[in-house]
Amino acid sequence: MLPTPIHRLFAHSSTLRSSELATQGVPRMQLSRWVAEGKLQRLGRGLYALPDYAPNQHASLVEVASPAPRVVFCLLTALRFHELTTQAPFEVWIAIGNKEHPPRLPYPKLRVHRFSPASLHYGVEEHRVDGAKLRVTDVAKTVADCFKFRNKIGLDVALEALRDAVQGRRTNMDEIWRAATVCRVAAVMRPYLESLG
């Protein structure tokens, strides 16, 4: 049985980093003992949960966001997060600044894209999942990013995202147009937006 203060921590967050537990006076050796005794499970490097923890569909995003809270989830990962695609990317697509170093994680595999400061900070939403703060591009910015990176993800994916976002009323044309302007793909998107409008 884990000490009560540790149980309280897990009541607020289903996953905890070893650094968070260390601030509560739990040495790393104790974590290893609790894992060996079945009182905790190790999800990844420095990431722990109670034995009855069942990962949700965003578990891989939590594993990335916990050690690297500044990354922004984008493109196919953001499409999947907003339920705008049926594709399940086997990599986690993230955006970082032009001069930032990408996080080095053994798992999950990352697809890193470098964004300009304006593009990186525009249209980012924060969501709380399993106690981790996920920074994800909003629907309009995700659609604009798909057109910007259409050579990497395919024009068909970008068109499907645009169609689903507009027809599903997940965003409006004005928001998409603003995001397209920030991403500098307004000229590329204009004919597609006019055909839907």
pLDDT digits (tens, 9 = 90+) for 17-50: 788 888 888 888 888 898 898 888 887 778 888 8
Q: What is the pLDDT of residue 72?
A: 97
Amino acid code (one letter) for 67: P
My answer on whether 77 and 168 are in the same domain is yes
Are 69 and 21 in a shared domain?
no
Q: How confident is the model at residue 67 (pLDDT cuts 50, 70, 90)?
A: confident
Q: Does one domain contain both 88 and 154?
A: yes
pTM score, whole prediction: 0.77
Any domain includes 102 = yes
Whether 129 contacts 146, CB under 8 Å: no
38 in a structural domain: yes
Residue 15 CA to residue 195 CA, distance in Å, equals 45
Q: Is 82 helix (H, G, I), strand (E, B) or coil?
A: coil
Query: Residue 112 domain-assigned?
Result: yes
pLDDT of residue 149: 97
Q: Give residue 165's pLDDT.
A: 95
- Let me know: does 48 contact 92? Beta carbons within 8 Å: no
What is the average pLDDT score of the chain? 89
Please report which confidence band the pLDDT of residue 155 belongs to, taking 50, 70 and 90 as the band edges: very high
pLDDT band at 78 (very low <50, low <70, confident <90, very high): very high
By DSSP bridging, strand 92-97 and strand 110-115 are parallel
Q: Is the pLDDT of residue 55 over 70?
A: no
Rounded to whole angstroms, how far apart are CA atoms 72 and 120? 8
Whether residues 178 and 107 share a domain: the answer is yes
d(CA 77, CA 149): 13
Domain membership flag for residue 147: yes
159 & 112 share domain: yes
Q: Calculate what percentage of the chain has a pLDDT beyond 90.
A: 54
The reply to whether 35 falls in a domain is yes
pLDDT at 3 over 80: no
Question: Do 66 and 158 sit in the same domain of this protein?
Answer: yes
Mean pLDDT, to the nearest integer, of 103-109? 84
pLDDT number for residue 7: 76
Q: Residue 56: which pLDDT band, with cuts at 50, 70 and 90?
A: low
Give the structural domain span for 37: 4-49
75 and 19, same domain (yes or no): no
Does some domain include residue 54? Answer: no
The mean pLDDT value for 138-144 works out to 97
Residue 33 lies in a domain: yes
Residues 10 and 106 occupy one common structural domain: no
Are 76 and 147 part of one and the same domain? yes
Confidence grade of residue 4 (pLDDT, cut at 50, 70, 90): confident
Instruction: Name the amino acid, one letter, at 35.
Output: V
**Tally of domains within the chain:** 2
**Same domain for 72 and 39:** no
Q: 2-16, 60-74, 120-134: which range is least confident on average?
A: 2-16
Q: What are phi and psi of 39, to 5 degrees?
A: -85, -20
User: Same domain for 174 and 150?
Assistant: yes
Domain identity same for 81 and 11: no
pLDDT, average across residues 109-138: 93
